[in-house]
A and B are shown apart, each in its own frame.
Chain A
Amino acid sequence: MKTYLFFGLVALLAAGCIGDDIVQDAVEPELRITNPLDSLAVGATHQYEVQYFNGIGQPELAEVTWSSSAPSIVSITADGLATGLQEGSALLRADVNAREGSFSATVLLEVGANTVAAGTFREGMIRSTSSYLLEGDFELHDVGAGRLELRIADNYRASTSLPGLYVYLTNNPNTSVGALEIGRVVDFNGAHTYVIEGSSLNDYSHVLYFCKPFNVKVGDGEILD
């Protein structure tokens, strides 16, 4: 009897200790061109910027090389300085050899009369990845001066039963770690806007809704061009 009580007590104490929960946080590594153009003027130049995100969605330094499918239309240096040479179009490609493998990113560039930056907004749809109500459309706008606006559409609805719901921008929708915390969700129905300082339009791949008290993802939305 004493032995049973002893082992029972040990088991009870062990159950009260902090253990580990494993979260599957792997994502597909990605090489992303962060300042694309729609068109480049003949004779003008553009310094492309690119960022490699590793298998957990974190930015990682890696050596990138650039190439052009039509060097007579657009030339590009190995470090991404493109020059418009004559009217036409070319596919520009960035390649990286990272720890997790080789990855590439491409962008189609028109060379014409003017230099035109790519669109100033991206969009997507929020979806629930849990049993809690969470849905709606959104747009992510570059409003200049290093400022973004995440505009949640009028069809947005979220459960008010969730305690501690937060919204993030992230490159890994499996976890809030490494994500940019926008703020606690205080709007649960209808249109509203979050202002984000110091970020660029292509810095993140997903909007993430995460319940902090439960440390669990509630929903997400891929940010599409």
Chain B
Amino acid sequence: MVKSWIDALPKAGWLLGFALLSQTSFAGGPWTQPQGKGYFKLSEYWIVYDQHFTDAGVTDPNVTTGIFNTTLYAEYGIVDRWTATLNFPFLSRNYTNNVVSASTGEVLIPGEALNSIGDTDLGIKYGLNKPGSKLPMALSLVLGLPTGNPAAGTQGNLQTGDGEFNQVLQFDIGRSFDVGKKSSGYATAYAAFNHRTNGFSEEIRVGVESGVAVLDRDLWFILRLANWESLKNGQTAETITSTSIFANNQEFTSFTVEAAYYIKGGFGVSAAFGGAFRAEIVAAAPSFNVGLFYDMNH
């Protein structure tokens, strides 16, 4: 039986919304923060890859490339049903390895690194039905601001942003439930459209997510599945030199597994990793995320 499931909403809300893995949404699912309440997280995301999915969907090698983002994420209830979100990678590092000759041991192409801020996302979410609804729904607008560096290094391939302005309109729907007396769970789904500028193709994103809490709702396990499709209506390599995870016309079907644990009060830790079942023009390696969070609702 679903019992006072509304108690679980804040937890579900942040768990849904708070994922810095690239394939997850961070609009918080259909649950909004109560007025004056919020959720905050400091996290580290990283991916190191030496191969990528090509446009044919198979993997090809590339110079080993690493991306590390240290990010502040926040959700805050402005008023009931209206929640503001911020995703601010205030330190982003992108590097490539040296390419060394096996014959001579000489460095043929020196590695490079870029440290900068990343692209920042500002969002606003509106709950379409009243708090406590059995089937909450929400509409979100997220603006992806090109605050990162889109082209650094001698080849212009070091990036902490894509250099374009994203406008994501997203619809979320979900439901929470109790599992026995001390456990809770939720399931959500979303669909979004990403309008992009500077010749980047628009995207259609869909995803589902489910989480289950144990240990008196202090430990959560979450699974996310996402599918992003490019409309491929933008420019191509004929006019764009971008690469790495910010490349244009990316597509993927991915998963993310996350665990989050409330250590004391609203403070907790989380860890996640993700990967792709299939992809095009995307790094082919698992990504990781660890973080410290504070949940004002817990």
Contacts and interface: CB of A to CB of B under 8 A. Distances in A.
A19 B64 contact: yes
A194 interface: no
A15 B66 contact: yes
Contacts of A21: 50, 63-64, 97-100
A16 B242 contact: no
Which of A16, A56, A165 has the most CB atoms of chain B within a 10 A radius of its CB?
Answer: A16
Interface residues of B, number: 50
B42 to A, nearest CB: 14
A18 B98 contact: yes
Contacts of A17: 95
Chain A contact residues, majority secondary structure: loop
Contacts of A145: none
Contact of A23 (B54, B59, B99): B99
Contacts, number: 132
Chain B contact residues, majority secondary structure: strand
A186 interface: yes
Which of B66, B103, B104, B156 has the most CB atoms of chain A within a 10 A radius of its CB?
Answer: B103
Interface string A1-17: 00000001000100111
A214 to B, nearest CB: 4
Interface stretch (A32-40, A41-49, A68-76, A155-163): A155-163
Contact of A213 (B64, B107, B241): B241
Which of A8, A12, A162, A176 has the most CB atoms of chain B within a 10 A radius of its CB?
Answer: A162
A212 B155 contact: yes
B55 interface: yes
Nearest to A177: B108
Interface in B99-118: 99-104, 107-109, 111-113
Given A164-B155, A214-B63, A132 B236 contact: no
B100 A18 contact: no
Nearest to A184: B241
Which of A162, A177, A213 has the most CB atoms of chain B within a 10 A radius of its CB?
Answer: A213
Contact of B60 (A22, A132, A160, A186): A132
Nearest to A15: B48
Given A15-B46, A18-B96, A25 B108 contact: yes
B9 to A, nearest CB: 31
Interface residues of A, number: 38
Contact of A160 (B46, B50, B236): B236
Which of B97, B237, B281 has the most CB atoms of chain A within a 10 A radius of its CB?
Answer: B237
A9 to B, nearest CB: 9
A186 B238 contact: yes
Nearest to B44: A12
A211 B65 CA distance: 14
A176 B99 CA distance: 11
Contacts of B238: 160, 186, 188
Nearest to B59: A131
B244 interface: yes
A177 B107 CA distance: 10
Nearest to B240: A163
A16 B102 contact: no
A88 interface: no
Given A18-B95, A214-B52, A163 B243 contact: yes
Contacts of A212: 155, 157
Contacts of B156: 164, 213
Contacts of B247: 163
B111 A18 contact: yes
B31 interface: no
A131 B98 contact: no
B177 interface: no
Interface in B30-58: 44, 46, 48, 50, 52, 54-56, 58
Interface in B243-292: 243-244, 247, 249, 280-281, 290
B4 interface: no
A193 interface: no
A23 B155 CA distance: 19
Nearest 3 A/B pairs, CB to CB: A213-B157, A214-B62, A161-B55
Interface of B: 44, 46, 48, 50, 52, 54-56, 58-64, 66, 68, 93, 95-104, 107-109, 111-113, 155-157, 236-238, 240-244, 247, 249, 280-281, 290
9 contacts: A20-B98, A21-B98, A21-B100, A23-B100, A161-B281, A177-B108, A188-B236, A213-B157, A216-B63
